[in-house]
Amino acid sequence: MRPVIGVISDVKASNGHVVHGVTEKYIYAVARGAQAMPVLIPGTISAVDADMAPERAVIDEIFDLVDGIFLPGSPSNVGPQHYGDAPYDPPLPADPHRDDISLPLIRGALERGVPIFGVCRGFQEMNVALGGTLFQKLYEQPGRFDHREDSTQDIETQYGPAHDVALEPGGLLAGIAGASTWRVNSLHGQGVAKLAPGLAVEARAEDGTIEAFRVPDAPGFNMAIQWHPEWRFWQDRLSTGIFTAFGAAARLAAERRHGGARLKAVG
Catalytic residues: 120, 228, 230
Coil, helix or strand for 101?
Answer: helix
Count of C-beta atoms within a 10 Å radius of residue 160: 14
DSSP output for 26-46: HHHIIIIIS--EEEEEPS-GG
Rg of the chain (C-alpha set): 18
d(CA 138, CA 130): 20
| H or E stretch at 129 | helix 121-129
Among the listed residues 225, 213, 11, the one whose alpha carbon sits nearest the alpha carbon of residue 100 = 11
Of 63, 159, 71, residue with least CA distance to 111: 63
Half-sphere exposure of 58 (CA within 13 A, CB side): 19
Bond preceding residue 90 cis, omega within 30 of 0? yes
Q: How far is CA 197 from CA 102, 124, 130, 178, 213, in A?
A: 19, 14, 7, 28, 12
* Alpha carbons 155 and 161: distance in angstroms, whole number: 12
CA torsion angle 154 159 164 167 (round to 10): 180
